[in-house]
């Protein structure tokens, strides 16, 4: 679980995904369109990816993927991120964490 926490804090925005997940792709695309350059961790490409997915669940990420961290703090999964985007708070979260500057 410590490796997941460490990875979640490595950049202002971090997304844990699976390479074959279309919802994960949509969340990544949204971040890129907002001007963020998040750290992306595709768990199916890690040898310990399944353990990392369970560690995310133990941190409260449900569903486990995509798991989005902004400023080192878990902010939610795809449903939460879309809601934050619609109400305008996602962009402010990214600004506050210095993931974007405009």
Global pTM reads 0.94
Per the structure, the count of domains in the chain is 1
Q: Please, which pLDDT band fits residue 62 given cuts at 50, 70 and 90?
A: confident
CATH number at residue 17: 3.40.30.10
Does residue 63 fall inside a structural domain?
Answer: yes
CA-closest candidate to residue 77, choices 50, 48, 57, 97: 57
Within-domain flag for 68: yes
Q: Which domain holds residue 51?
A: 4-97
Mean of pLDDT values over 65-88: 96
Q: Please indicate, yes or no, if residue 102 is contained in any of the structural domains.
A: no
C-alpha to C-alpha distance for 33 and 7, rounded to whole angstroms = 23
Q: Say if 76 falls within a structural domain.
A: yes
What backbone phi and psi angles, to 5 degrees, belong to 80? -65, -45
Rounded Cα distance, 13 and 23, in Å: 17
pLDDT-based confidence at 1, cuts 50/70/90?
low
């Amino acid at each position: 679980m410590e490796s997941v926490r460490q990875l979640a804090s490595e950049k202002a925005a971090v997304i844990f995904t699976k390479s074959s997940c279309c919802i994960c792709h949509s969340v990544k695309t949204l971040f890129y369109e907002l001007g963020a350059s998040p750290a992306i961790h595709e768990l199916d490409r890690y040898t310990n990816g399944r353990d990392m997915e369970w560690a995310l669940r133990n941190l409260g990420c449900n569903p486990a993927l995509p798991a989005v961290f902004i400023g080192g703090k878990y902010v939610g999964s795809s449903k939460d991120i879309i809601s934050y985007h619609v109400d305008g708070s996602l962009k402010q979260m990214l600004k506050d964490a210095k993931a974007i500057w405009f």
